[in-house]
Chain A
Amino acid sequence: MVIQGRVWKLGDNVDTDQLVPGRYLSLTDPQELASHCLEDMIPRFHDLVRPGDIVVAGENFGCGSSREHAPAALKALGISCLLASSYARIFFRNCINLGLPALTSPEATAGIQDGDQVRIDVETGEIENLTRPFQCSAPPLSPFLVEIVNAGGLTAYVRDWLEARTPVSGEEREVHP
């Protein structure tokens, strides 16, 4: 999967409270969550972001609360890929589980500025800055994680697995959106 998009550059230690503040945690609809994403840091972020945009962050991206509302909001906004120097572990798992590719590269973070156009090959980890001369490569995701991302996330991955394990009749099968 090759992704090309405009970059939103964030700093170090961007926590999940900033991505979706606690006061909105009763919401579950990804679109509603998206409308509050980063609202205290970048006013009107949800209006300014375009589907396909890429978020590039520094160290410890997504630290703090385990709230999956945070990557769900980014995904609902159409963010296509995350790139960071490092991730907090729960946030990283959540991104993969939602099918949102998250690559790690301190080098890339240094060579990419806010607003740059960047092309990322998610499978090989090749990163090319189309705005200024810069390219590098991030370690590719492990095959298991690529499998989850390609399935569309852990929900679909487990669904496929459960269906393969216990075939159910058409009548009993739940309808998934």
Chain B
Amino acid sequence: MGMTMTEKILARASGRAQVRPGEIVQVPTDLVFGQDTTMPLAVIAFKHMGAARVFDPDRVAIVCDHFVPNATVLAAEQTKSLREFAGEQDIAHYFEAGRGENFGVEHALLPEEGLIYPGMVVVGADSHTTSYGALGAFASGFGSTDVAAAMALGEVWLRVPETMRFVYEGELGPWVGAKDLVLHTIGQIGVTGALYRTMELVGPVIESLTVDQRLTMCNMGVEAGAKNAIVPVDRETERYLKAVGVRDVSACNSDPDARYHSVTEIDVSGMGPQVACPSSPDNVKPLSEVIGTKLDAAFIGSCTNGRIDDLRRAARVLEGQRVSRDLRIVVIPATQNVYLQALREGLLEIFAEAGAAVSTPTCGPCFGGHMGLLAAGERVIATTNRNFVGRMGHPESEVFLSSPVVAAASAVMGQIAHPDEVVR
């Protein structure tokens, strides 16, 4: 009997001919990583485990991205401890802002660095590790102690998830993209809609998306509770992997007779831009219902929407415009490579001319860390993934989630707006 992509990857990794949902499998890990807020706890646990060496220094990565460039003395101490740990353990994949090579937000950075490939098992100490399913990998978020154990043992235990298949069909409208698709889906199934399960995203619309856009969708799978999200490997995947220097591309796509928990067909024709309203990612409304909502801030960036594709889209809206004087906007390219590409293409100039504060890569405000937080009563439109109470600052502030084009148009208008209001 057939298997889904996720089942195939877990079967192959655990050395079995077949696995079924609900089974517990012990799986070797191809990449284990963490970031500057989760890895310090993992290093403490690793040491308390009495582990001397990581299982394979080339299969461990540390990405300092949340509080970088070090926002506080405490953050500086944390990155220092991680730098030292990487040195002790010969971990070459150590990334930190301003160290002479590519750096930035982990889920944009690791694919660019060629560390993600189809069929691999990725264990990350960050919930948005689900992103890498966009390249046909099994990738899931874990806590620090799980990551410590994976660093020590080179394996992890997993319950094989059931797979929910989402088939996207129809024609995408103007100004509608991956973010709108995933927000719409989360709005439909809710924040527990895919709890403990796999979201497999397929269909002609997914095939038409770039890897950057697929990463946006898989990134937010966890907001529906998913263990992982995954997209079949196709020519676009191969194009991306070739560009980042990955040679080993062995597809592991679902069998035609694979068994699914459910199959949901979504016709995207006629769908407009979507916005997730405070304070849950499933409180999704069509843009038309919230248009005109007054704003104090806008943010374009993050592991969800800080890639070059996102910045190009935002720049189409902001070109030749000035943002509203009633609002402040921060734009953060997700990695140094994205920053440089945006610089070469003139996108950073467009943002700066529009009046945006353009920053070096960091997670910054997305998780309420630094670089543009909110005061009580303030409202932001953000291209990020979570709009929980207090997520980006004061517990009485509010976050609306949208695509880059809607955030850009809203910044120009000072209120939630459709790109058509700005680009005529």
Interface residues of chain A, those whose CB is within 8 Å of chain B, are: 13, 15, 17-18, 21-23, 25-28, 40-41, 59-60, 63-69, 71-72, 86, 88-91, 93-94, 97-98, 144, 153-155, 158-159, 162-163, 168, 173-174, 176-177
Contacts and interface: CB of A to CB of B under 8 A. Distances in A.
B6 to A, nearest CB: 14
B149 A154 contact: yes
Interface stretch (B37-45, B168-176, B410-418): B37-45
A1 B113 CA distance: 48
Contact of A155 (B77, B145, B227): B145
Contacts of A71: 143
B166 interface: no
27 contacts: A13-B191, A17-B388, A17-B390, A21-B368, A22-B368, A22-B391, A25-B369, A26-B67, A26-B77, A28-B44, A40-B395, A60-B192, A60-B195, A65-B386, A66-B127, A67-B37, A71-B143, A86-B195, A88-B225, A89-B195, A89-B227, A90-B142, A93-B142, A94-B143, A97-B146, A153-B145, A162-B50
A26 B41 CA distance: 10
Interface string B215-254: 0000000000101000000000000000000000000000
Contacts of B77: 26
B114 to A, nearest CB: 24
A144 B158 CA distance: 12
B47 interface: yes
A159 B192 contact: no
B402 interface: no
B18 interface: no
Contacts of A28: 40-41, 44, 78
Contacts of A60: 191-192, 195, 225
Contacts of A162: 49-51, 152
Contacts of A144: 24, 157
A22 B369 contact: yes
B63 to A, nearest CB: 14
Contacts of B38: 66-68
B304 interface: no
A40 B196 CA distance: 28
Contact of B72 (A18, A26, A176): A26
A8 to B, nearest CB: 18
Contacts of B389: 17-18, 40-41
B146 A88 contact: no
Interface in B119-133: 125-127, 129
A155 to B, nearest CB: 5
Interface residues of B, number: 50
B145 A94 contact: yes
B75 interface: yes
Given A17-B386, A18-B389, A64 B127 contact: yes
Interface in B148-199: 148-149, 152-153, 157, 191-192, 195-196
B386 A155 contact: no
Contact of B41 (A15, A59, A72, A88): A72
B152 to A, nearest CB: 6
B54 to A, nearest CB: 13
B367 interface: yes
A173 B192 CA distance: 44
B74 interface: yes
B141 interface: yes
Nearest to B40: A28
A153 B45 CA distance: 10
B125 A66 contact: yes
Interface in B44-98: 44-45, 47-51, 66-67, 72, 74-75, 77-78
A40 B388 CA distance: 12
In the complex, the 4 A-B pairs of residues with the closest C-beta atoms, listed nearest first: A94-B143, A22-B368, A25-B37, A40-B395
Nearest to B127: A66
